Amino acid sequence: MRALIQRVRHASVTVEGELISKTGEGLLILLGVGPQDTEKEADFLAEKCANLRIFNDENGKMNRSLLDVKGDALVVSQFTLYADCKKGRRPAFVGAAGPEQANRLYEYFKSQMEQKEIGAVGHGIFGADMKVELLNDGPVTILLDTDEIMAKK
């Protein structure tokens, strides 16, 4: 599972001209699901997103988490995080989970974020053509990949 997280002042999602969700200061989380991913990866990633210390403290150091600042989160499905651009000029997406599995784990991840003691949790619409607007704060943008950061047993 992959999450591209951006520290934002605000973010929103619009579908066909209709505002679906908007958030204030916090994180925009673009979430991609791989075929081997399970609830275990979603749990790990939700915990990491909520606790990653990327918000400034009173001294301007990145020392506070989403939990600490009670920031919002906007979760948007993003299968293109699994783009394979090794060959040719058109990305291949064979590394992404199928829609049924991806949607199930996307919904599960959202529910895990909603259980955290953070601000509001907004979301996009799975599979929709979404327009995402954000004001990146910093800018701070971090890629989290459970294949790289989870302990292997």
Are residues 130 and 13 in contact, defined by beta-carbon separation less than 8 angstroms? yes
Q: Which of 14, 23, 38, 80 is catalytic?
A: 80
Tell me whether residue 80 is one of the annotated catalytic residues. yes
Helix or strand holding residue 113 (H, E): helix 99-114
Handedness of CA 31, 62, 132, 80 (dihedral sign): negative
Residue 43 gets which letter from DSSP?
H
Are residues 30 and 76 in contact, defined by beta-carbon separation less than 8 angstroms? yes
**Exposed/middle/buried for residue 151 (C-beta within 10 Å: 0-12, 13-18, 19+):** exposed
- The residues annotated with a catalytic role in the active site are 80
